[in-house]
Amino acid sequence: MSNVLIGIIGVILFIGLALAGALFLGPRFQQATNSSRASAMVQGVGQIAQALNLRMIQSGEYIGDNQRQIMPDDVLVAEGYLKAVPTNPYAGQPIMLFYDPTGADPASVVGNRSYFVEMFMSADDQAADVCAAVQKQTSGSTTIPTLRPMARTGCFKDPNGQYRVYARV
């Protein structure tokens, strides 16, 4: 009879420890996932920005037509500037190129270029946490700006409520 009681107590202790571990470690695992996504997005936009910089230096040409467009992956891959275009961890969300928002010709914007590579995220709480992780990794602050700051890399929330990770080209 005592073996049965000891077995029941052991099972109850095991279940209690499993629940305590899940409650304590659950947020830690989610935080690690957000940090991993943030790192992948920062590296992805950085790789594309560096490939665009190298292409601009070597060929003197810009990709696209001075306006917002979906990342033309075939150009950078076909010309050997990238082996493959990094993927956005948020499935279905695009990687975009934004040229000078004023619409000016890139050749006429000397020394004050406004070219960005951006990965979009959905407008949910997890995206906000990923954006905060990006800000922490790139600037040391978890404050999420509402306009794209002029830092080299970061994250912001646009007026439509969508989060974007960006790298300046």
Number of separate domains in the chain: 1
**1 within a domain of the structure (yes/no):** no
**71 within a domain of the structure (yes/no):** yes
Q: In this predicted structure, what is the pLDDT of residue 100?
A: 52
Enclosing domain of residue 87? 36-168
Inter-helix orientation angle 125-139/2-59, to 10°: 60
Tell me which amino acid residue 94 is. Answer: P
Of 105-109, 151-155, 158-162, minimum mean pLDDT range: 105-109
Question: In angstroms, rounded to a whole number, what is the distance separating the alpha carbons of residues 165 and 41?
Answer: 7
**136 within a domain of the structure (yes/no):** yes
**Global pTM exceeds 0.75:** no
- Range 82-96 average pLDDT: 81
What band does 95 get if pLDDT is binned at 50, 70 and 90? Answer: confident
> ∠85-145-91 over CA atoms, to 5°?
30
**18 within a domain of the structure (yes/no):** no
Q: In this predicted structure, what is the pLDDT of residue 103?
A: 44
